[in-house]
A and B are shown apart, each in its own frame.
Chain A
Amino acid sequence: MSPKPRAKRLSETNRAIVSLQIDNVPVEALAGDTLLTAILLSTGQTGRDAFNQTRQAGFCLMGACQSCWVWSAAGQRFRACDTPVQQGLQIYTDGERLGW
């Protein structure tokens, strides 16, 4: 069971719906969301901290801290904060565990 989201949309909720899967969980996001937005509003967490194994949830949102990495099914790595959502996308937040 994923924890309930902490983030909240404040406006711009009338955009088209985009469906994707985060860690095999079906998630609905809006066109123009970043993957991080989609994650924070659903499963709530990105990858695991390499040392404490605690979850992360992004930090800088501007591509500088790199604590928001996610992976595609093929093992390609993205920063969730500057990658837009796409219909049908499957992403995994635990790439390091999966051996990528």
Chain B
Amino acid sequence: MVSGDKIVIVGAGPAGMEAAITLVKAGLRPTVIDANARSGGQIYRRPPADHRRSYKDIYGADAAKARYLHDAFDAIRKRIDYRPDTRVWAADKATLFLDSPEGPLALPYDKLILCTGATDRLFPILGWEAPGCYSLGGAQIALKSQALALGDPIGFVGAGPLLWLVAWQHLKAGSEVAGVWCTAPLKNLFVALPWLAARPGLALRGLGQIFALWRAGVPIKYGGRPLAVTADAEGHVSGFQWSNGVKSSQTPLRALALGWHLRSEAQLPHLLSVPKAQGQNRPMVDGLGRSPTRGLYLAGDGLEIMGADAARIAGRMAAVALLRDTGCRQTFVNKLKLVSDRIKHARMRVFSSGLARSFPPPEAETFLALPETTVVCRCENVRLAAVRAAAENWKCKDINRIKALTRTGMGRCQGRYCSATLMAIVAAETDLPISDIPEYRAQAPIYPLEIPNKQR
């Protein structure tokens, strides 16, 4: 039954690991490509081998799940072609272009499962280009994989489950937390309760983190607006200013982590011309993650931000879709498992829509009130004034044109950390819903490539 198709999975987070495990069980030998040195993806990221903390210390309540996935993936290592430390920087219909420890490689494929995960969704604050500002995910990585607090004390600003989780993880690890500033109003959390109730355990865990921070005396602010990040004589972050609408406050701190939930890493489906799902900012797929492009499947946070448990299920479902398309017969047990996976996944989608309701991005007024000198694109140092000028009184609603005129999104991060901002600014200025604003077109290379010295 095993076909000779060359199957490649991009990403070794929960979605990609689970897809690989499912394919190996069916007797296939996929190639798994991952940018990280060790498997696990974001949530189950493994520290370097010299670290000795226990699973419980690193992953908390998720320790058992982390251990299961690491062990299950390690167990299939010899039955897959696993390529860590390797990045896919471009793709066409039959080839992936890799930046690997052995140098540049072109890898042909017949079937592709993209499990590329997510990065932080960021919005700008006046002064956030100062050293000492980090993404929320970055602060968590420092803690999980390096046992390091990026600043002492460190503050957290944004909105989303990760804001509370990461602040709480710092508190628990013994770091001083200067404050947590959530831009979403507290009432949202209660309004969203019917959706959050789809996963009561998880909802309670989140509320417990907020409660624990409050009980520890960490200053917590809800429903206001960040004003500015201030810097010391060396230019390094030294404080954070916040407005609750009536009065403003200033808090000294030595690092600030920012994040408003996550955004999918969706450059590869864009490069492969997968159309957008109707009315949504995500690629079009069927219920199992099959895209309209033959042989291309998507799963996990790279498709839709739904968290680790949903990413695992999605990885499994995408693998099942691939197996079906290769003509593999499913056993009765597997069919039952698929039905249960579909039901669980649907319930998780209800929960994640509750999270989106609880923690929306800042309101249009926040973007309208941004000072003209705010840096919107960190890499190319483009300030809001330049974006406003390029948009010519907002007759221009295409952020790609603004990009061409101002160089936003053309720098080292390839638009990862300014695309949400540009869309939000244009939406705010034109009074259009964000879903009507086109995203940046993805361009290869999706990561900057180094041309070795000797080839120059």
Contact = CB atoms under 8 A, between A and B. Distances in A.
A58 B237 CA distance: 13
Interface of B is mostly: loop
Given A11-B173, A66-B413, A76-B452, A6 B51 contact: no
Contacts of B132: 6, 57
A74 B254 CA distance: 34
B431 interface: no
A45 B131 contact: yes
A60 B152 contact: no
Interface in B363-377: none
B178 to A, nearest CB: 12
B416 A15 contact: no
Interface in B208-253: 234-237
B168 interface: no
Interface size class of B (residues with CB under 8 A): 35 or more
A10 B42 contact: no
A6 B255 contact: yes
B151 A7 contact: yes
B85 to A, nearest CB: 8
B148 A59 contact: no
Given A32-B50, A49-B381, A62 B234 contact: no
Given A6-B151, A7-B149, A15-B51, A67 B412 contact: yes
A63 interface: yes
Interface in A25-63: 30-34, 37, 40-41, 44-45, 49-52, 54-63
B413 A65 contact: yes
Interface in A64-86: 64-67, 74-77, 81-82, 84
Given A54-B131, A61-B137, A16 B152 contact: no
Most-contacted residue by chain A among B36, B137, B235, B254 (CB, 10 A): B235
Contacts of B452: 76
B316 to A, nearest CB: 25
Given A8-B149, A12-B51, A32-B48, A52 B381 contact: yes
B135 interface: yes
Contacts of A97: none
B175 interface: yes
A52 B142 CA distance: 26
Contacts of A63: 35-36, 447
Nearest to B147: A12
B143 to A, nearest CB: 7
A7 B176 CA distance: 11
Contact of A6 (B49, B146, B150, B174): B150
Contact of B130 (A12, A54, A74, A76): A54
Nearest to B48: A32
Contact of A59 (B133, B151, B453): B133
A56 to B, nearest CB: 5
A61 B52 contact: no
Interface string A3-23: 100111111100110000000
Contacts of A84: 48
Contacts of B236: 3, 6, 44, 57
A67 B453 CA distance: 20
B51 A32 contact: yes
B145 to A, nearest CB: 8
Interface string B298-336: 000000000000000000000000000000000000000
A7 B150 contact: yes
A41 B152 CA distance: 12
A28 B129 CA distance: 28
A12 B119 CA distance: 27
Contact of A64 (B51, B57, B142, B413): B413
The 5 closest A-B pairs by CB, nearest first: A32-B50, A66-B412, A57-B131, A51-B381, A61-B138
Interface of B: 35-37, 42, 47-53, 57, 119-120, 129-135, 137-139, 141-143, 146-152, 173-175, 234-237, 254-255, 378-381, 412-413, 416-417, 447-448, 450, 452-453
8 contacts: A6-B236, A7-B148, A8-B149, A10-B143, A41-B148, A61-B142, A63-B35, A64-B416
Interface of A: 3, 6-12, 15-16, 30-34, 37, 40-41, 44-45, 49-52, 54-67, 74-77, 81-82, 84, 100
Given A7-B255, A61-B138, A63-B35, 12 more contacts: A10-B175, A12-B53, A32-B47, A32-B49, A37-B142, A45-B131, A50-B381, A54-B130, A55-B235, A60-B120, A60-B135, A65-B416
